[in-house]
């Protein structure tokens, strides 16, 4: 299980497929690859549950320079997903 598997880079990251211990490394790496591909709006599905995973995802997003902002999804998933808006690589390079 230690081997990396292909995961689609399509702007939707469903954390149900991963162990909670993987989130701290997985989320920044997924966002980095999305940004490289020009995907600047990313949906992270963390589920509702007790809110622990949501808080952990938000704490992971807070220090990332590539993150412009994030908010809870306003659709039917409500607080079961977070929408992340990434800065373009060009805008970050210019300041």
Task: Please report, for the chain, the start and end positions of each structural domain, with discontinuous segments joined by +.
Answer: 12-90
Residue 92: its pLDDT value, please?
Answer: 61
Are the CB atoms for 42 and 86 separated by under 8 Å?
yes
Name the percent of the chain lying above pLDDT 70: 87
Q: In the predicted model, is pLDDT for residue 8 greater than 90?
A: no
**CATH, domain range 12-90:** 3.30.1370.110
Q: What is the pTM of this model?
A: 0.85
d(CA 54, CA 57): 5
**Measuring CA to CA, which residue among 36, 31, 28 is closest to residue 11?**
31
List the beta strands (DSSP E) in the chain.
12-14, 41-45, 67-72, 81-86
């Amino acid at each position: 299980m230690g081997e990396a598997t292909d995961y689609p880079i399509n702007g939707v990251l469903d954390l149900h497929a991963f162990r909670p211990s993987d989130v701290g490394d997985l989320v920044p790496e997924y966002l980095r690859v999305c940004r490289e591909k020009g995907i600047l709006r990313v949906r992270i599905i963390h589920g509702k549950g007790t809110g622990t995973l949501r808080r952990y995802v938000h704490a992971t997003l807070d220090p990332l320079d590539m993150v412009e902002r994030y908010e809870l999804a306003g659709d039917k998933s409500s607080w079961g997903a977070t929408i992340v808006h990434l800065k373009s690589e060009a805008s970050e390079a210019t300041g």
